[in-house]
């Protein structure tokens, strides 16, 4: 009986010690909070690039990442708008304009995916994103989600000014926030982006939008060909266009479609810098994982020949730029490092630079 009681006591004691660890991920009372400051910039001085970057875009999944930037840009100031006069919206005019007025029952409106009457987000309408983002002072002990901190918390101001004044770099994004830090498998990432928005001219995949770069197939004179002959003629035209490198198609002048034009279904922003930052703990060791794409406008020659020839042409072409096509290429930044808090960490790259400092807070220590 004594043995059974001892075993039961040990099991009960071990369960009490294990309970907080199991709750730590769900219960904010156990979260370990750190302050993170990030400065992202692109180099303005040309560097020798020995690394071969693929021409095509390698998309980064940002769908589940925290977005502190959109919260600022798309902020709804209900109290301020409540005192504005009502907008006079003309009949059948559903274009949303940046007017100093408010719409009736604006708070009650519910956006429906795909509806043409949805108000476009402020973020998607920006041509260029501001470099600096900061928020009001907030008590970390009351926080239940990550939040931006005031500019007075920043320590990388002098570094940013020095890089810019010496002409070494162009800052793209500078911000600092406080966040809970979890394990690597929790995937608690932050969506960071900045610079220009190329969406007015380019699709996310890098090709120019149809109105800027559609290649029209040559029109044909209608004749009395039998259906089979007409079809063979269309196929010959198609192969002729492929041979000439005109690899994107619209329609003939007479409306006949030869091949579908690959367009993207939405007009989401195409940021110059876009990706995720993942800060996580392995035991008591902090890690930083940066995953970004830096976009840059380039001229490329229309591809000709087989795949090997196309790759060679795209990367080494010396054609006159007036005969080339614009393309928004991507340079991938993918780096992982174990770091120490309160130290400044620089991540180098031929095109992109990142400086990060992680600072401890009153809630950084393990509490279980």
Q: Is the pLDDT of residue 112 over 50?
A: yes
Position 106 pLDDT exceeds 50: yes
So what's the pLDDT on residue 254?
46
Question: By the 8 A CB rule, do 307 and 278 touch?
Answer: no
Residues 6+ apart with CB under 8 A from 102: 81, 82, 84, 85, 86, 87
The tokens for 189 are 């990432």
Q: Please name the residues in contact with 247: beta carbons below 8 A apart, sequence gap of 6 or more.
A: 215, 241, 302, 303
Quote the CA–CA distance of 126 and 267 in Å, as a whole number.
12
pLDDT at position 198 over 60? yes
d(CA 337, CA 357): 13
pLDDT on residue 310: 55
Give the pTM. 0.70
Q: Check pLDDT > 80 for residue 363.
A: yes
The band of 99, judged by pLDDT with boundaries at 50, 70 and 90, is low
Span 166-185, average pLDDT: 96
pLDDT bracket for residue 74 (50, 70, 90): confident
Where does the pLDDT of residue 61 fall: very low under 50, low under 70, confident under 90, or very high at 90 and above? Answer: very high
pLDDT tens figures, 314-356: 555 444 444 567 889 999 999 999 999 999 999 999 999 999 9
User: Which tens digit of pLDDT belongs to each residue from 20-55?
Assistant: 444 556 788 999 999 999 999 999 987 666 667 877
* Helix/strand/coil for 275: strand
Domain ranges in the chain are 27-79+98-214+261-360, 217-259
Nearest to 349 by CA among 328, 335, 330, 336: 335
> Can you tell me the distance from the alpha carbon of 78 to that of 284, in angstroms, rounded to the nearest whole number?
43
pLDDT, position 15? 46
Task: Name 260's Cβ contacts closer than 8 Å, sequence gap at least 6.
Answer: 249
For residues 103 and 119, give the distance between their C-alpha atoms in angstroms, rounded to a whole number: 11
Cα–chain-centroid distance for residue 65?
10
């Amino acid at each position: 009986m004594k043995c059974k009681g001892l075993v039961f006591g040990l099991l009960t004691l071990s369960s009490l010690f294990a309970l907080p660890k199991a709750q730590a991920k769900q219960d904010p009372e156990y979260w370990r909070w750190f302050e993170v400051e990030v400065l992202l910039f692109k180099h303005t001085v040309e560097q020798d690039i020995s690394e071969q970057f693929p021409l095509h875009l390698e998309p980064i999944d940002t769908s589940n990442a925290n977005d502190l930037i959109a919260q600022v840009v798309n902020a709804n100031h209900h109290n301020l708008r409540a005192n504005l006069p009502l907008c006079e919206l003309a009949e059948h005019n559903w274009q949303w304009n940046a007017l100093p007025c408010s719409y009736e029952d604006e708070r009650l409106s519910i956006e429906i995916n795909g509806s043409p009457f949805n108000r476009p987000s402020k973020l998607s309408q920006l041509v260029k994103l501001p470099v600096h983002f900061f928020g009001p002072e907030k008590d970390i002990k009351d926080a239940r989600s990550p939040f931006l901190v005031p500019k007075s918390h920043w320590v990388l101001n002098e570094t940013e000014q020095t890089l810019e004044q010496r002409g070494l770099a162009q800052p793209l994004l500078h911000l600092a926030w406080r966040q809970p830090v979890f394990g690597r498998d929790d995937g608690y990432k932050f969506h960071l982006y900045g610079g220009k928005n190329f969406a007015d001219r380019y699709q996310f995949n890098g090709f120019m939008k149809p109105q800027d770069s559609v290649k029209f197939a040559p029109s044909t004179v209608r004749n009395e060909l039998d259906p089979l002959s007409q079809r063979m003629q269309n196929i010959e035209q198609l192969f002729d266009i492929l041979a000439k490198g005109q690899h994107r198609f619209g329609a003939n002048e007479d409306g006949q479609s030869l091949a579908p034009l690959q367009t993207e279904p939405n007009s989401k922003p195409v940021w110059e810098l876009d990706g995720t930052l993942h800060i996580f703990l392995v035991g008591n060791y902090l890690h930083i994982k940066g995953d970004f794409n830096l976009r840059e406008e380039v001229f490329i020659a229309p591809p000709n020949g087989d795949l090997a020839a196309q790759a060679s042409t795209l990367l080494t072409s010396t054609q006159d730029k007036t005969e080339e096509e614009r393309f928004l290429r991507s340079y991938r930044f993918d780096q992982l490092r174990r770091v120490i808090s309160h130290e400044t960490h620089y991540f180098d790259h031929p095109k992109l630079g990142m400086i990060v400092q992680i600072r401890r807070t009153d809630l950084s220590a393990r509490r279980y």
